[in-house]
Amino acid sequence: MKLCIIGNSLSALTLASALVKEKIAVDVFFSKKKAKSNLTRTIGISKSNIEYFNANMLNIEKFIWKLNKIEIYTDNLKNEKLLNFEDQKKYLFSIIKNSKLQDLLQNNLNKNKFYKAKVFNKKKNLSKNYDLVINTDFNNPIMKKFFSKKIIKSYNSIAYTTVISHEKLKNNIAVQIFTKKGPIAFLPISNSQTSIVFSIHNSQLKKNENIYELIKFHNLVYKINKFEKVELAELKSFNLRSYYKENVLAFGDLIHKIHPLAGQGFNMTIRDTMIFMKIIKNKLSSGLPIDSSVNKEFEKKSKHMNFIFSNSIDFVYEYFNFERKIQNNLLSKSVQIIGNYKPINSIFTKIADKGIFI
């Protein structure tokens, strides 16, 4: 059995870690051109996904920051809490810097005898040399050749990310505010640092408006000492129409990309990894070959769930975006009433943790 992964993104390193954990040899091809580091970007990982990650990829327990409460507000209800998710006995979500997780995975892989890093050569036909080729690289020629058809949506928004250093406090509550300019999230990463993701609609950012001042305006609790450099990213969502072509499989952000408001992008990739690894293990235990049938089964088991889940995130965005436009709090009041009903709140919490399973 010969497997290879193209790209050294977080998705690639996560899947490679799961494979070598099962003593499956994998070659990871990367470009000589070094990818731009997202030093201020953080990743939220749900409780069930952290447990799976620790057991099946790499134990990162001592590097994550745990949150046991998520509070959601909207400008239309002023200081009233829109929704509240909490568990005082357990944690709901964990936060870690993107760059930190990438370094941890890469360093651990470098020590594993089942892992080999190779420089990608576009003249080499990998699909003929490997039983499975898994592509996670947007810029790879394979992506343009096999996976150009996708359902794309532009949010006409820019995500501004930074990390603030502030006076020390008990910092275990994530806060999301649906503002008139777009959603802003305060995601704690320690008692003295918090990550910020502010997704601002292009029509709402005035000329020469200061992003630092906007963050300060929406800050509820922190006494800010310092801002790290703000990084920008254009916001789009998409779903790939076909996940595979023969023995070549697209994976990670290549098959689904969603709005960051719920912090679910990497959680979807972990759930995809669970499905993929279960298929691989079942094939091996049954003595069946690892070939294009793996890709077909993976698409069959994951595509519909990914599509439903990504569209549910899009629905949440559009719901509050519509309310922003009409400047009425009726929609927020409805969500507040429904969300405070315990059985409904419990369902929302379970979906955020484990995704949609049909």
Q: What is the 8-class DSSP label of residue 76?
A: G
Q: What is the mean pLDDT of residues 224-243?
A: 93
pLDDT at site 123:
66
Query: Does residue 292 have a pLDDT over 80?
Result: yes
Asked whether the beta carbons of 274 and 157 are under 8 A apart, the reply is: no
Q: What is the pTM of this model?
A: 0.91
Q: What is the mean pLDDT of residues 28-36?
A: 73
Those residues whose C-beta lies under 8 Å from the C-beta of residue 355, and which sit 6 or more positions away, are: 264, 267, 268, 271, 305, 309
Q: Is 223 helix (H, G, I), strand (E, B) or coil?
A: coil
Asked whether the beta carbons of 149 and 245 are under 8 A apart, the reply is: no
> pLDDT confidence of 357, banded at 50, 70, 90?
low
Q: What is the 8-class DSSP label of residue 202?
A: G
In 3D space, the residue among 353, 299, 357 whose CA is nearest the CA of residue 52 turns out to be 353
Q: What does pLDDT average to over the chain?
A: 88
Q: What is the mean pLDDT of residues 105-130?
A: 88
What's the pLDDT tens digit per position in 75-93? 877 667 877 888 766 788 9
Rounded Cα distance between 124 and 227, Å, is: 45
H helices, E strands: number in the chain:
10, 18
Query: Does residue 244 have a pLDDT over 80?
Result: yes
CA 132-270-358 angle, to 5 degrees, is: 95
Phi first, then psi: what are they for 121, rounded to 5°?
A: -120, 110
Please give the share of the chain, as a percent, with pLDDT higher than 90. Answer: 59
Q: For residue 280, what is the enclosing H or E element?
A: helix 265-285
Q: Up-side HSE of residue 170: CA atoms within 13 Å toward CB?
A: 2
Radius of gyration of the chain (CA): 21
Query: Does residue 144 have a pLDDT over 60?
Result: yes
Q: What is the mean pLDDT of residues 145-165?
A: 90
What's the pLDDT tens digit per position in 273-291? 999 999 999 999 999 989 9
Domains of the chain: 3-354 (3.50.50.60)
Distance of alpha carbon 31 from its chain centroid, rounded?
A: 23
